[in-house]
Structure 1
Amino acid sequence: MDDSHLHLRLAGVIRLALGGGRGPTDAYVFDPHRLALPAWACALGVEGSPALLVTLDRHLDLVPPVAPAAVPDRSAGLRALDEHARWSLDVRNYDHVLAAMEAGLVGDALVLARTKPRGTTTADTYVDTRGRTHRLVVVPTVDRAAEAYHQPAPGDRVRDVLEAAERVLLDVDLDCFTSLSDADPMTVLPWPLDVIREYLLPPGSEPFWDAVLGRCVALTLAREPHHCGGLLASGRLFQDVAQVLFREVLRTEPP
C-alpha cells in the first residue's frame, strides 16, 4: 500500500482533500481527540522536523501521559502510534498533545483553551523523556492570540513560536465552541453560528490566521460528541463550525 492510502488503515478517521482555498490541503476528522496522534503521524510522515501545533479546544489537553517513555517514536510508524493512541492514551483525551511531543511529531504548541483538566501541566515548557524541550504557549481565545501576534506585550510568545515554525498542524476540538450551563454544569450548550464566527474571526485576526495557515500542512478536527451535547447536538454544531472554519477561515468548501 502506498503512503497516500495509509489513512485507510485508521479506523474512525476520515481524510478529506481540501482545495481552492488557503492553508492545508488535507484534513482529518475523527471523534476521540486522542486519534489526532495517528492523524498527525499520517500527515507528517517519519521524516522532517516536528511541527508547531496550533490547537483550539475548550480544555487544555496538556496532561502528561502516564508512561511517557512508552510512547513510540514517529520512526516506529503509523501502526505503532495508532495502537498506542487507542489502547494506551487516556480515554479522557487529555494527554495526546504531550504524547505527540514524546513521539517527535510536535515541537512547540500554541494552545487556545479555557479550562484545565485535573493533572494539566502549568509549566511554560515540557521536557520530554528524550531530553527535548517544547514551548507551551497558552492563550484563552483567538482574539487574544491575534493581539499577542500583532502587538506582543512583554512575555507574549505567540509570534515567537509561529515565526520559528517550519510546519504547522492546525487542530480543532468541536467542544471549543461549547459552554457549560450556569444552571446545570452537566448540560453542554453549543454556541450559535454568530458566536462561532465572532470567536474564530474577531476583528484584526487576519495577520494571525495568515501566519498559521501559511505553513499549515494539515487540519485535524475532533468531534468529541460526549463533550458537545451528544450525537445529534454535535452533528448540528459540526455543520455550523464547518461553515465558518472551512468557508470563511480556510476559504474552501465545507465537507
Structure 2
Amino acid sequence: MVEFRNPYHIEPPGALRQILSHPINESEAIELAVFQEHRYAFFYWNKWMRKNEGGNPPCLVSLDWHQDLCYPEDLEKEWLNELDLTSDADVSVFSWAKLAGNNDGHILCTAYLNLIGNIYVHCRQAPFPDAWKDEELMDKYGNKHIIKKFQTYEALQDALLASSETSVFFDIDLDFFSVKNGLSDGSFEFTYLQEEQIRTMLDKDNPLISWVFKRLKGFTIATEPEHCGGLLKSNKFLDLISDIYFKPDLFAPKCNWKWKPRY
C-alpha cells in the first residue's frame, strides 16, 4: 500500500485545477480541471458530485474526437463496487492505474456509479455504424442513463435545448478540434478546424454554450497531445480556449471569466 504524505490533498498526476466564479450565477463557484489523460476526469466528476450533497448527478456534455463509451466489464464493476469514493487518494490512484489506459472507459464507469446522469457526446468517430444509435446503461443502483451520440454540433444543440436537464459537467477533449485524426486512422496525418470555427462554436453567446453555462457544475479539459498531432498543437487549442473564456490566462493569478470581475 502506498503511504501518501498528505492523503487529503491528492489529485491525478500532472492535473491542474482552477477555482472560478460561476460563468452565470453570482452565488456559485465552479472548478475547471486540465489533464493529459482523459480518464482523470473520473476523479473530478466524483469530487464534484460529492459536493452535490445527495442531489441528482449532472448530465455530461462532451466534445471529443472519439466516443470513449466502452462499457465496464465484470471485473471493472467489481473494482468500482469496492472503490472508496470518499478517498481522493484511492480515486486518484484508481483513475491512474485501473481505468482503461486507452482512455475509453471512464465515462460509463462514472455513470455506473451514478456520478453523472445522461450522456451527450458530440464526436467524429464511431467504431461501427450502429454506434451512433442511442443506448442505455443501468447503473449499480438501478438508475437508467441515456447515452446519446451526435455527428453534428447542431444536432447536439437541438437535443440539449429540448431536454429537461438542469445541471451539466462540460467536458472537452482537445483532439475534438482535429478533423482528420491521423493517429486514429493510422495515416499519421492531421487536419484541423479553423480558429474562427472554434471561436464561433465555443462563444458564450452561442445558444448551446449559453445553455451549458447556465447549468454548469464543473468543466474538464483533456489535452491528449498525441491525439492532437503533438504537444504544440494541443497547447495551441488550450491557449485558444483560454483566450476565448478567460482573462488573465488559465492558472494565472486572479484568472476569471472575461465577462466577470477579477478580485
TM-score (norm 2): 0.76
- Give 1:76 deviation, angstroms: 4.3
Letter in 2 for 1:51: P
1:217-249 deviations in Å (ceiling 9; x for gaps): 1101100001001112211222123323557xx
The residue that corresponds to 2:3 in the other structure is: none
Q: Deviations over 1:61-86 (max 9, x none)?
A: 11112323421467443332222211
Deviation at 1:191, TM superposition (A): 2.9
Q: Report Cα offsets for 1:200-230 as digits up to 9, x if no partner.
A: 349x942x33332212111011000010011
Taking structure 1 as reference, are residues 123 and 143 closer, same or farther at Cα in structure 2, changes over 3 Å only? closer
CA offset at residue 12 of structure 1? 1.6
**Which residue of structure 2 lines up, in the alignment, with residue 168 of structure 1?**
168
The code of the aligned residue for 2:210 comes to D
Give the whole-Å Cα distance in 2 for the aligned partners of 1:103 and 1:78: 16
Is residue 2:139 matched to residue 1:128? yes
| Equivalent runs, 1:15-54 vs 2, <5 Å | 15-19=17-21, 21-22=23-24, 25-45=30-50, 47-48=53-54, 49-54=56-61
- Alignment RMSD (CA, Å): 3.2
What letter matches 1:16 in structure 2?
Q
Q: For the Cα contact (< 8 Å) 1:13–1:30, is it kept in 2? A: yes
- Cross-structure match for 2:251: none
Q: Specify the alignment match of 1:115 in structure 2.
A: 125
For the 8 Å contact 2:23–2:214, the answer to whether it is kept is: no
Instruction: Provide the C-alpha distance between the structure 2 equivalents of 1:173 and 1:99, rounded to a whole number of angstroms.
Output: 18
Any idea what the Cα deviations from partners look like across 1:169-215, whole Å, max 9, x if unmatched? 1111111111226898322234331121243349x942x33332212
Output the CA distance in 1 between the equivalents of 2:201 and 2:19: 25
In 2, the alpha carbon distance for the partners of 1:74 and 1:134 equals 22
Secondary structure of the residue that 2:199 maps to in structure 1?
A: helix
Q: How many residues align?
A: 234
In the alignment, residue 158 of structure 2 is paired with which amino acid? E
How many angstroms apart in 2 are the aligned matches of 1:122 and 1:60?
A: 12
Partner SS for 1:135: strand
User: Letter of the aligned partner of 1:134 in structure 2?
Assistant: H
Match of 2:126, SS state, is: coil
Change (3 A) 1:246 1:6: farther
| Bigger shift: residues 71-80 or 61-70 | 71-80
Amino-acid identity (%): 25
Any idea what SS the aligned residue of 1:25 has? strand
| 1:61 aligned residue | 68
> Which residue number corresponds to residue 250 of structure 2?
none
Aligned mates of 2:61, 2:24 — CA distance in 1: 16
Inter-partner Cα distance in structure 1 for 2:135 and 2:123: 14
Q: How does 1:146-157 map to 2 (within 5 A)?
A: 146-150=157-161
Q: Is the 8 A contact 1:52 1:168 kept in 2?
A: yes
The alignment status of 1:187 with 2:189, answered yes or no, reads yes
Greater mean alpha carbon deviation, residues 58-67 or residues 92-101 = 58-67
CA contact (8 A) 2:46 2:85 kept: no
Q: Which residue in the other structure is 2:88 paired with?
A: 78
